[in-house]
Structure 1
Amino acid sequence: MIACGKGHTEIVRMLLDIGADYNKCDNDGCSPVMWACSEGHTEIVRMLLDIGADYNKCDNDGWSSVQIACSKGQSEIERMLLDRGADYNKFNNDGWSPVKSACSEGHTEKVRMLLDKGADYNKCDNDDWSPVMNASEMGHSDIPSLINERSRKVTVISEDI
């Protein structure tokens, strides 16, 4: 875990070669892949995913690897996880989804990636706040515009059917 979080690629490779448990979590429920996602160590994330690390596993607070990548602005890692089938609508214990985390942090491109996959942008958290409300509160005006544009496209398509 520490080697993954610190970006020590060769040490991670060596530990994996001798049979280290790549799904073992710390006391907070964070896995090595979560640590690597959080710190933006793309090569280590790829290495862990290639050997079968559980990318949908959540920590004790319900945060998944893709939600961590979205909140930290790790575009390449987010794309890699989504391409492998990560659950983009998984909600943590507070009712936050990856799209809500990306909206709150102002990561417009990450929001776009999640919307392209079909992420639910209407689901509110446990305090009844939507992703758009979080983006608006933080002054990220491009995100409500993006979601509004997507909402109109969905409405037009459904009216055509």
Structure 2
Amino acid sequence: MRLPAEPALASSAEELAALHGRCFATGWSAREFGALLNLPGCIGLACREDGRYVALALFRQALDEAELLTLGTDPAYRRSGLADTLLTSGECRLFNQGVARVFLEVSDQNPAAAALYERAGYGEVARRKAYYRDGNDARVLEKWLRKDGQTGP
């Protein structure tokens, strides 16, 4: 499925929160989405079909590093390539803004997400014990977008 990545704005916080709730057992609130999307350095991306959000990604940049805060796809749209689209689009935007590397956390109980990130070139650099509310550990992954003065992907 090919849906384009488009900006996700704070004005869509209610819809993004509803999507996040479909993606995760403990979804983020509209208030949380609105606050994050209003922060400097925060990039929200989403895919829509028929006007309805079906996938989202949220990145936060600080100087030359960034963090993927969340990446989710509506269960009915999983394995359709939307997560890849959002991840790649976000990385390109970050690269163009001077970001050298991206970090993220993924639950050690989420092998599908871990496989997505590993295919995209992320590697484990640390673990955080009992990081998630459910007590699961987080694998901290990183991906270098640029090295040694590189100016293109």
Q: TM-score range by the shorter chain?
A: 0.3 to 0.5
Larger strand fraction of residues: 2
Greater share of residues in helix: 1
Structure with greater contact order relative to length (CA < 8 Å, sep ≥ 6): 2
User: What TM-score do you get using the length of structure 1 for normalisation?
Assistant: 0.34
Name the larger-Rg structure.
Answer: 1
